[in-house]
């Protein structure tokens, strides 16, 4: 549903659009009972989550996970929790929930009887919960040695206190096959001119320059983000996300205009294609590049020569030093039953030791948030991720993590799809976004 999933897919056998959806619908029924019907039945979700061992004060705590099953993100979390239990002799009761289901029920979950600690995202969405009093100030577990300042900032809410402990992150960048580039003599582009000539070169070899898919609604946000950050800069992007800029401004129109000019170099009909299909096209060499998150490897695990570069600069006065690199981590709920243990866990989760344990738990294209975490077990893509993200001066989270979630899902997803369907109507799309933005943000 609305909330994007940018994690590996749990049900590789089933097309993800279906796998996720059936669960979403179940989730819908739950929230419909609670949300749509108004009256407070907030315990509904937690009834299936919390298995109520709660009483064992002192020796246990509970962890709500937005991952479940035998997939790397869940395995990583389990490995981290086990390392914690071993070290502190505190039992961790894991409440594992499939990703989309967890996301869609988060409101009812948090207002019901949630676990002490739950997996969440840094930035705007953490701040939203902090302002609503759903999560607790955990500034006393900070500072955490090895966590860079920029991550501390992403863990800080508007009241200046920390509410979040970062676990890992991954960048969005342009993926390509090294062997294809070598065979054809393609060069990694650094400027707009490089990019244009590369795309034309690819077309002359009957290759579509960019893979592109937006059936799920959120992948196009990655493209919007990077274009806006390249054309208008990071600061403008963030204040646009915060609702402080107008969506029908000339700056935003410029982004859509540029996008429209780039669309002929993308796979046509993106609205009927899933990102996995787009990734497969890249893997087969039908397309040359794909602007995506590093979890692209989940769709094409057999492609060995995968590499990536940051999106080239489009305006030399802006440069190319900003990118999307969403940070995942943990928050503690308000009124946690086992507060002391939960804080111990949070303090531990940020350490290099905990993040190494996660890394050893499963191979996944994530990078530890802690700078002193070991990089020995990193794959080439992980090493490259570290390199690319360290080179960035500014890091955004992702459109649906940097702005109000209702705005992202009910306005931005349909609007971007509308634009992709009819790219010539830039004015219509931007005006419509602006009208709805005013209605939602209240100004």
Contact between 59 and other proteins per CB under 8 A: no
Pick the binder of other proteins from 5, 31, 209, 403 (CB under 8 A): 31
Nearest distance, CB of residue 216 and other proteins, angstroms? 8
Contact between 38 and other proteins per CB under 8 A: yes
Pick the binder of other proteins from 409, 423, 425, 441 (CB under 8 A): 409
Residue 276 and residue 254: Cα distance in Å, rounded?
Answer: 29
Contacts of 197 (CB under 8 A, 6+ apart): 189
Distances in Å between the Cα of 425 and the Cα atoms of 216, 227, 276, 352 are 22, 18, 28, 49
Q: Report residue 240 as tokens.
A: 């646009």
- From residue 4 to residue 23, the character string flagging contacts with other proteins as x (rule: CB under 8 A) and all else as - is ----------xx-xx--xx-
Pick the binder of other proteins from 182, 269, 305, 427 (CB under 8 A): 269
Contact between 335 and other proteins per CB under 8 A: no
Tell me the CB-side half-sphere exposure of residue 27, using CA atoms within 13 A: 22
Pick the binder of other proteins from 47, 418, 423, 441 (CB under 8 A): 418
CB-nearer residue toward other proteins: 20 or 347:
20
Pick the binder of other proteins from 215, 230, 237, 266 (CB under 8 A): 215
Residue 282 and residue 264: Cα distance in Å, rounded?
Answer: 17
CA nearest 43: which of 114, 132, 130, 116?
Answer: 114
Nearest distance, CB of residue 144 and other proteins, angstroms? 27
- From residue 91 to residue 110, the character string flagging contacts with other proteins as x (rule: CB under 8 A) and all else as - is ------------xxxxx--x
222, 324 Cβ separation under 8 angstroms: yes
Contact between 76 and other proteins per CB under 8 A: no
Contact between 241 and other proteins per CB under 8 A: no
CB-nearer residue toward other proteins: 171 or 270:
270
CB-nearer residue toward other proteins: 150 or 280:
280
Contact between 261 and other proteins per CB under 8 A: no
Contact between 297 and other proteins per CB under 8 A: no
Contact between 36 and other proteins per CB under 8 A: yes
Pick the binder of other proteins from 95, 113, 405, 430 (CB under 8 A): 405
Contact between 39 and other proteins per CB under 8 A: yes
Burial class (CB in 10 A: 0-12, 13-18, 19+), 158: exposed
Nearest distance, CB of residue 434 and other proteins, angstroms? 9
Contact between 287 and other proteins per CB under 8 A: no
Burial class (CB in 10 A: 0-12, 13-18, 19+), 26: middle
Tell me the CB-side half-sphere exposure of residue 17, using CA atoms within 13 A: 13
CB-nearer residue toward other proteins: 28 or 142:
28
Residue 213 and residue 267: Cα distance in Å, rounded?
Answer: 8
Pick the binder of other proteins from 140, 159, 244, 421 (CB under 8 A): 421
Task: Give strand pairing partners of 208.
Answer: 287
- From residue 130 to residue 169, the character string flagging contacts with other proteins as x (rule: CB under 8 A) and all else as - is --xxx-----------------------------------
Contact between 243 and other proteins per CB under 8 A: no
Residue 370 and residue 102: Cα distance in Å, rounded?
Answer: 26
- Please give the residue ranges that form the binding site for other proteins (CB under 8 A): 1-3, 14-15, 17-18, 21-22, 24-25, 27-28, 31-32, 35-39, 103-107, 110-111, 125, 132-134, 215, 217, 269-273, 277, 281, 405-406, 408-410, 413-415, 417-418, 421, 432, 435-436, 439-440
């Amino acid at each position: 549903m609305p909330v994007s999933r940018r994690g590996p897919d749990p049900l590789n056998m089933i097309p993800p659009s279906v796998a996720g959806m059936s669960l979403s619908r179940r989730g819908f029924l739950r929230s419909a009972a609670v949300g749509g019907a108004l009256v407070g039945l907030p315990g509904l979700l937690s009834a299936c989550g919390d298995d109520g061992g709660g009483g064992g004060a002192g020796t246990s705590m509970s962890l709500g996970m937005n991952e479940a099953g035998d997939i790397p993100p869940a395995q990583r979390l389990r490995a981290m929790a086990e390392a914690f239990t071993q070290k502190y002799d505190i039992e961790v009761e894991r409440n594992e929930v499939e990703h989309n289901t967890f996301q869609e029920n988060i409101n009812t979950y948090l207002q019901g009887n949630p676990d002490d600690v739950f997996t969440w995202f840094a930035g705007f969405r953490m701040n939203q919960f902090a302002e609503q009093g759903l999560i607790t100030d955990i500034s006393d577990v900070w500072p955490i040695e090895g966590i860079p300042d920029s991550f501390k900032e992403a863990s800080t809410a508007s009241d200046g206190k920390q509410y979040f402990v970062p676990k890992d992150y991954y960048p969005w960048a342009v993926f390509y096959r090294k062997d294809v580039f070598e065979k054809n003599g393609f060069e990694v582009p650094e400027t707009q001119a490089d990019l244009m000539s590369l795309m034309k070169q690819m077309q002359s070899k009957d290759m579509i320059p960019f893979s592109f898919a937006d059936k799920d609604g959120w992948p196009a946000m990655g493209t919007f983000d990077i274009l806006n950050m390249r054309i208008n800069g990071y600061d403008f992007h963030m204040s646009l996300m915060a609702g402080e800029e107008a969506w029908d401004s000339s700056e935003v129109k410029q982004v859509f205009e540029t996008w429209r000019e780039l669309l002929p170099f993308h796979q046509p009909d993106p609205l009927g294609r899933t990102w996995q299909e787009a990734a497969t096209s890249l893997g087969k060499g039908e397309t040359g590049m794909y602007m995506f998150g590093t979890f692209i490897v989940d769709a094409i695990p057999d492609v060995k020569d995968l590499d990536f570069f940051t999106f080239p600069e489009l305006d030399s006065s802006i440069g190319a030093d900003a990118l999307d690199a969403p940070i995942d981590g943990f928050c503690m709920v308000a009124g946690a039953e086992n507060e002391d243990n939960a804080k111990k866990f949070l303090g531990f989760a940020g350490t290099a030791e905990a993040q190494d344990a996660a890394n050893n738990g499963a191979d996944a294209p994530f990078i530890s948030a802690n700078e002193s975490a070991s990089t020995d077990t990193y794959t080439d893509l992980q090493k490259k991720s570290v390199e690319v993200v360290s080179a960035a001066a500014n890091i955004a989270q992702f459109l649906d993590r940097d702005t109000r979630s209702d705005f992202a899902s009910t306005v931005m997803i349909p609007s971007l799809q509308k634009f992709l369907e009819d790219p010539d109507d830039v004015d219509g799309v931007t005006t419509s976004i602006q009208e709805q933005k005013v209605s939602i943000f209240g100004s």
